[in-house]
Amino acid sequence: MKSAITAGGAIFGKLKALGIDYVFANSGTDFPPVIEGLVEARRQGLDLPIPVTVPHEHAAVSMAHGAWQVTGRPQAVLLHTNVGLSNGATGLINAWCDQVPMIVMSGRTPVTEHTRFGARTVPIGWGQEMFDQEALIRETTKWHYELRFPEQISDLLDRAWAIANSTPKGPVYLSLPREVLCEPCPPEGLDRPSRIAPVVTAPEPAAVQRAAEALVGAERPLILSQRGAGSAEGFAALSQLCDDFALPLSHYWSNQIALPIAHPMQVGSDPAPWLEEADVVLVLDALAPWFPDKVTLRDDVTVIQAGPDPLFSRTPVRMFPAAITLSGPVDGTVAALGAAMWALPPDAARVEARRTVVAQASDAARTAVRAQAEAGRGAPMSKEWVALCLGEVVKGRKATVFHELGCPLQSLMLDQPDSYFQEPHSGGLGWGLPAAMGAKLADPERLVFATIGDGSYMFANPTACHLVAEAQGIAVVTLVLNNEEWGAVRHSVEGLYPEGHARATNEVPLTSLRPSPDFALTAAASRAWTETVTDGADLPAALERAVEAADAGRQALLNIAIARVT
């Protein structure tokens, strides 16, 4: 850049210099200097990220979330003042819980009423004023600030990017007053990458050594993983570690996979039987590694908590034991732990005896999962059957399933890192479809599925999502697993009151979603390929047709009738 440019456009140039590919945005009356500046920047021939219009802010944040999950490249979100920020707040809660880095910005109502260029011009300039707009997202961001002068843009975005990418990663926020965006911004620094390097932590060598000694010496070790192994390298290293030392691993409430589901040391989603006997437990980046009310640990158990923030320090109440803590990205921790363990002499007879027991239990668990899935192939079908059929379709392909109360992990039988992402444990519904869209946009060669419940689909603002998918050519395949109810709420009621009145009468108020809309029509309004499937026997062929449509560049939706679990 040779000369000053409107600050609203200068932001885009700086974001591109930071490696941002997309800015997911929903505009408003605070956007005139952004739009004017963007056109100005284009006319100057500047290298810019792609602006993507997303007509709902929750979907915009979720698209940035999904794009990062499959690429590891943070993206940016630009929202409309306080009302847009409030719509995006649920997405930010999810991103915070999942430790997803992104730069989130929103306009700020002009603070001046006249004279200064960019001052208030319409009544909402008064209606959207707040004492503390940043309070909307303060607890779900690592850093937040308000732009005061245009010459701050380069330095503030450098700092924002570095903090977002530091361990543990997470979203950051910058508010943008309209008067400041209207001013010219000097060019210095706008075309360079960040001058501030992110902080990447690593576990203390002494703690790694203690953890390695505990695991190698254990009779009944167990690994619990919720958020995967950190990278493809971490996935491979963890698989080798489990192989060499016969370490059983449970995917309890996992939103990513850490081992292939068919791995002989992968023991399923229920850790309770293994936990009760475990003498050493390695917890890999798990917010809640077990159900405290239903699990009793041995008095002499050694629990190792490992992850970017192994104690989850911003979670007020989390009392799981931590005799040893290993702080750092999971893949780096696994590599360090593996190196220390491989340097120690294991008890070969003990390892081989354990391998036989674990492999038999693992095989039995997979057989039971498959039998349960095949038993659900009727009309209506079970979620497990849908997952089993989908797993067969994606086998051997570069594919990712985004699950939001949709296809359960164990029945999918996936075997690759980044092949599965479940909804964040924060539970901000409406994440699955736009996250899948963000992933497909960022990695067009990947076959991407959103498998979501009917309630989650409605929360996703599907009209907005399908509009964006058509406009951007995002050929994602959506499976709406439609049981005409809030199934998660029903299960929660019956779990808390197993002998209660609701379960006894099979009447659970406030959970019915009947009469069900024809979701195929919602997607068809944006020219999606659609089909409704009511019989499990018809599902495999319908899935193949949906994938053919996606391979041809067209978004697809299957509205699938699912049995209610009673």
Predicted confidence pLDDT, tens digits, the chain (566 residues): 566 789 999 999 999 999 999 999 999 888 889 999 999 999 888 899 999 999 999 999 999 999 999 999 999 999 999 999 999 999 999 999 999 999 999 999 888 999 999 899 989 889 999 999 999 999 999 999 999 999 999 999 999 999 999 999 999 999 999 999 999 999 999 999 999 999 999 999 999 999 999 999 999 999 999 999 999 999 999 999 999 999 999 999 999 999 999 999 999 999 999 999 999 999 999 999 999 999 999 999 999 999 999 999 999 999 999 999 999 999 999 999 999 999 998 999 999 999 999 999 999 999 999 999 999 999 999 999 999 999 999 999 999 999 999 999 999 999 999 999 999 999 999 999 999 999 999 999 999 999 999 999 999 999 999 999 999 999 999 999 998 765 666 666 666 677 776 666 666 676 667 778 899 999 999 999 999 999 999 999 999 999 999 999 999 999 999 997 65
Q: How far is CA 268 from CA 27, 263, 386, 412, 450, in A?
A: 45, 10, 18, 12, 22
Number of domains, the chain = 3
Residues 141 and 30 in one domain: yes
Output the CA angle 462-466-470, nearest 5 degrees.
175
What values do phi and psi take at 20, rounded to 5? -80, 125
pLDDT at 363 (0 to 100): 97
Residues 321 and 249 in one domain: yes
Is residue 46 one of the residues assigned to a domain?
A: yes
pLDDT at 30 (0 to 100): 85
Residues 32 and 160 in one domain: yes
Q: Shortest CA distance to 265 belongs to which of 392, 122, 361?
A: 361
Q: Are 282 and 249 in contact (CB under 8 A)?
A: no
The two structure tokens encoding residue 513: 């979603």
What's the rounded Cα separation, in Å, for the pair 315 and 139? 10
Is residue 193 one of the residues assigned to a domain?
A: no
C-alpha 526: how far from chain center:
26
pLDDT at 29 (0 to 100): 83
Mapping DSSP to helix (H, G, I), strand (E, B) and coil, where does residue 98 land?
Answer: coil
Is residue 200 one of the residues assigned to a domain?
A: no
Q: Shortest CA distance to 288 belongs to which of 256, 311, 268?
A: 311
Task: Show which of 365, 396, 423 is a domain's final residue.
Answer: 365
Domain extent, residue 103, equals 5-185
Task: Show which of 185, 213, 239 is a domain's final residue.
Answer: 185
Is residue 198 one of the residues assigned to a domain?
A: no
The two structure tokens encoding residue 473: 């050519």
pLDDT at 484 (0 to 100): 73
- Write the secondary structure of 367-417 as one string of H (helix), E (strand) and C (coil): HHHHHHHHCCCCCCECHHHHHHHHHHHHCCCCEEEEEECCCCHHHHCCCCC
What's the rounded Cα separation, in Å, for the pair 263 and 157? 43
The two structure tokens encoding residue 429: 């519904």
Residues 350 and 473 in one domain: no
pLDDT at 493 (0 to 100): 66
Residues 498 and 395 in one domain: yes
What's the rounded Cα separation, in Å, for the pair 241 and 458? 42
What's the rounded Cα separation, in Å, for the pair 400 and 451? 11
Is residue 492 one of the residues assigned to a domain?
A: yes
Residues 359 and 434 in one domain: no
Radius of gyration of the chain (CA): 25
Residues 217 and 293 in one domain: yes
Helices (H) and strands (E) in the chain, counts: 21, 19
Residues 224 and 268 in one domain: yes
Residues 277 and 392 in one domain: no
Sheet containing 477-482, strands listed edge to edge, beginning at the edge strand earlier in sequence: 420-422, 399-404, 447-453, 477-482, 556-561, 529-533
CATH number assigned to the domain comprising residue 262: 3.40.50.1220
The total number of residues shown for the chain amounts to 566
What's the rounded Cα separation, in Å, for the pair 113 and 267? 64
Q: Shortest CA distance to 486 belongs to which of 564, 561, 431?
A: 564
Q: Shortest CA distance to 325 belongs to which of 299, 302, 291, 292?
A: 302
The two structure tokens encoding residue 199: 């902080």
What's the rounded Cα separation, in Å, for the pair 241 and 238? 5
The two structure tokens encoding residue 13: 């140039």
- With b for 16 or more beta-carbon neighbours within 10 A and e for fewer, the 173-197 pattern comes to bbbbbbbbbbbebbbebbeeebeee
Q: How far is CA 514 from CA 289, 483, 518, in A?
A: 35, 9, 11
The residues, any chain, with a CB within 8 Å of residue 528's CB and separated by 6 or more, are 466, 469, 470, 554, 555, 556, 557
Q: Are 100 and 72 in contact (CB under 8 A)?
A: no
Is residue 168 one of the residues assigned to a domain?
A: yes
Residues 233 and 258 in one domain: yes
Return the axis-axis angle of helices 539-551 and 383-394, rounded to nearest 10°: 50
Is residue 192 one of the residues assigned to a domain?
A: no
| Half-sphere CA count of 25, side-chain side, radius 13 A | 20
Q: Are 305 and 324 in contact (CB under 8 A)?
A: yes
pLDDT at 407 (0 to 100): 95
Residues 311 and 343 in one domain: yes
Q: Are 92 and 171 in contact (CB under 8 A)?
A: yes
CATH number assigned to the domain comprising residue 544: 3.40.50.970
Residues 388 and 359 in one domain: no
pLDDT at 496 (0 to 100): 65
Task: Show which of 338, 365, 392 is a domain's final residue.
Answer: 365
Is residue 146 one of the residues assigned to a domain?
A: yes
- Token look-up 């701050």 returns 152
pLDDT at 506 (0 to 100): 62
Q: Shortest CA distance to 187 belongs to which of 45, 33, 2, 13?
A: 2
The residues, any chain, with a CB within 8 Å of residue 296's CB and separated by 6 or more, are 276
